[in-house]
Amino acid sequence: MQDAFGAHKLLRQPSAQANNTILRRAFVSATRESDKKMDENKAVENIPISVALKWYFCRGVGNFLTIPLFIWLAYCLVMSTIGGVIQWLALVRAISAVFGIIITILTSFLWILPFLPAILYYSLLRNLPGGWMRRDATKKLKIIGSIGIIIGFSLFAFLIFHLNVKLIAWVADRNPEAAYKAGVIGSKVPE
């Protein structure tokens, strides 16, 4: 083909394969940039436990708040783990005494209920420093979020603990004599 100036030019439409290659390169470069931003946030969110524990003790003046917070969360974690073991044993003994071994095996997934408060406290202990290490949030947002998460998780753990107690009592109340022989007492005392 000739253009207006008399020069011969070959006007070529880009092929579909060339278009795909151009789009793929643009997508890859955009993805790499967004991955870098995501990696920065993931690096903060998925910090090792050693870094998370060090955060509680290396805050300078903030140690007046973080060290008691660490002691309180560690205490709650230990106590809820001990309480989870006791509740799990009581639940297994009550279910096996009242309903039999087959139902106990069928309800073996219930082990998570007594240990859920401990899992919540571990999650708080492990992930609270990650929220404070984020650079994209303001200090006011970090404070409000931390207080809300600490109070919310603690209340949720408290609620789960009492629901577990109610579940164990409900199972024991189905047959108070059998549960009493197994060492578990519900709200009905056997005669």
Predicted confidence band of residue 111 (pLDDT cuts 50, 70, 90): confident
Helix ranges restricted to H, 99-175: 101-106, 112-133, 139-174
pLDDT, one tens digit per residue, over 27-68 is 455 555 544 554 555 545 577 777 888 888 887 887 888 899
Instruction: Say which residues have a Cβ less than 8 Å from residue 148's Cβ, sequence separation at least 6.
Output: none
Structure tokens at 19: 């278009």
Angle between helices 49-57 and 63-98 (to 10 degrees): 130
Q: What are phi and psi of 2, to 5 degrees?
A: -110, 145
Enumerate the β-bridge partners of residue 2.
Answer: 8
Amino acid at 159: L
Contact 80, 117 (CB under 8 A): yes
182 vs 4, which has greater pLDDT? 182
Instruction: Say which residues have a Cβ less than 8 Å from residue 179's Cβ, sequence separation at least 6.
Output: 93, 94, 97, 98, 171, 172, 173, 185, 186, 190
pLDDT, one tens digit per residue, over 74-106 is 999 999 999 999 999 999 999 999 998 888 888
Please provide the average confidence, as pLDDT, over all residues in the chain. 79
pTM of the model: 0.70
Cα–Cα distance, 98 to 186 (Å, whole number): 12
Cα–Cα distance, 162 to 150 (Å, whole number): 18
Amino acid at 127: N
Cα–Cα distance, 26 to 88 (Å, whole number): 55
Angle between helices 112-133 and 49-57 (to 10 degrees): 70
Contact 127, 134 (CB under 8 A): no
Instruction: Say which residues have a Cβ less than 8 Å from residue 82's Cβ, sequence separation at least 6.
Output: none
- Domain boundaries defined on the chain: 1-46, 49-181
Residue 39 pLDDT = 52
* CA end-to-end span of the chain: 107
Residue 42 pLDDT = 52
